[in-house]
Amino acid sequence: MIVHSHEGAYDRLLYSFLAMRIAITLFACCALSLACSAQTKDKTEWSEQYNSPGATMVVKETDRARVNGQTVVKYHLFVSNLPKDSEYALCWKLPGTEPQTVASAFINKDGLVVNVLADPANNVAEDPIDLIVVAGRGEPKEFALISNDGKFRVFAEVVPFPISKSNGPCTISAKMMGQDYFLVLIVVTGLQSKEEFQIKQRSGNEGGTSKATATENGSYRTNIFPFVKGEPSGKLQFAVTAKTCNLDIEVPWGRGSYQIQ
């Protein structure tokens, strides 16, 4: 969820909005005509590879607490190498959905994304944008900052509760890319450059082994649809056997698989 949190009202806001996957509390002046989806040619452009040249955005965790049996995480966004004299749209995107505009935004002198810049001469206080989220395991929270004229953009994501394992130099992770893990992205890093390795995967009564080849930088990525016809739920098991490491990971899918942490 995305809210503007002010001291003394923080807990009340959390209790009010935890039932929602994402909620927005904004001032009236934040109503925008710009839609994030209109600023990208198609939804495949939503990634860091489409950042403006030299631009980066860091999602920094500022707080993590248990509230009503769920873990609530708060973030701030810090942007580098984008103009500070432009007005932007802050956008978010959940797995399998279209991006949406949620607030007007500015970049302060320190790179922090804010809703209102400080104007001491007119007694206007700076209003940082707090991103307050709950999430399931392996669920990414994706954000973008896009200038209103569409000339500048930067993307970033964070996974509050990663599904990952490490062994030696290698790491394997799984990311939820569709509701109830209908689509799962598997990423392996730390392999040798262009090495061939073995994959073993199983979901329900379906599975098998195959060979794959790492990229030049020693990584491997694959999208998997783990659902099995006639089965409402199950587990995806994915294992890698390589020269320097053996890794495996398990991801539940289907009915009851998504659980707020």
Per-residue pLDDT reduced to its tens digit, 108-117: 999 999 988 7
Residues 171 and 231 occupy one common structural domain: yes
Residues 177 and 137 occupy one common structural domain: no
- For residue 101, is it within any domain? yes
In this prediction, residue 127 carries a pLDDT of 84
Residues 241 and 150 occupy one common structural domain: no
Domain CATH number, residue 38: 2.60.40
Residue that is written with structure tokens 């007694």 in the block: 123
- For residue 260, is it within any domain? no
pLDDT (mean) for 92-98: 82
User: What pLDDT, in 10s, does the model give residues 212-235?
Assistant: 999 999 999 999 999 999 999 999
Residues 38 and 121 occupy one common structural domain: yes
* Residue after which a domain boundary falls, among 124, 158, 192: 158
- Give pTM, 2 decimals: 0.80
User: What pLDDT, in 10s, does the model give residues 146-180?
Assistant: 998 889 999 999 999 999 999 999 999 999 999 99
For the chain, strand residue ranges (E) read 2-3, 56-67, 70-80, 88-93, 100-107, 113-116, 127-128, 130-133, 141-147, 153-158, 163-167, 170-176, 184-189, 196-203, 206-213, 220-224, 233-241, 246-254
Residues 153 and 173 occupy one common structural domain: no
Phi-psi region of 243 (alpha: psi -120 to 50; beta: other; left: phi over 0): alpha
Residues 44 and 171 occupy one common structural domain: no
- For residue 261, is it within any domain? no
Q: In terms of residue numbers, what domain contains 238?
A: 163-254
Higher pLDDT, 101 or 222: 222
**202-205 long-range contacts, CB within 8 A, separation 24+:** 202/236, 202/237, 203/227, 203/228, 203/234, 203/235, 203/236, 203/237, 203/253, 204/228, 204/231, 204/234
CA 230/CA 63 separation, integer angstroms: 42
In this prediction, residue 39 carries a pLDDT of 60
- For residue 218, is it within any domain? yes
Residues 210 and 90 occupy one common structural domain: no
Higher pLDDT, 26 or 143: 143
Residues 88 and 72 occupy one common structural domain: yes
* Residue after which a domain boundary falls, among 95, 128, 158: 158
Residues 108 and 223 occupy one common structural domain: no
Domain CATH number, residue 242: 2.60.40.230
- For residue 240, is it within any domain? yes
In this prediction, residue 20 carries a pLDDT of 34
Residues 171 and 64 occupy one common structural domain: no
Higher pLDDT, 14 or 220: 220
Determine the 3-state secondary structure of 179 from DSSP: helix
Residues 28 and 146 occupy one common structural domain: yes
Q: How many structural domains are present in the chain?
A: 2
- For residue 249, is it within any domain? yes
Residue 7 has pLDDT above 90, yes or no: no
Q: Is the dihedral of CA 47, 52, 56, 60 positive or negative?
A: negative
Residues 165/237, Cβ–Cβ less than 8 Å: no
Residues 76 and 179 occupy one common structural domain: no
- For residue 248, is it within any domain? yes
In this prediction, residue 99 carries a pLDDT of 85
- For residue 167, is it within any domain? yes
* Residue 119 buriedness (CB in 10 A; 0-12 / 13-18 / 19+): exposed
In this prediction, residue 149 carries a pLDDT of 87
* Residue after which a domain boundary falls, among 158, 175, 210: 158
* Triad 255, 138, 114: Cα angle to 5°: 120
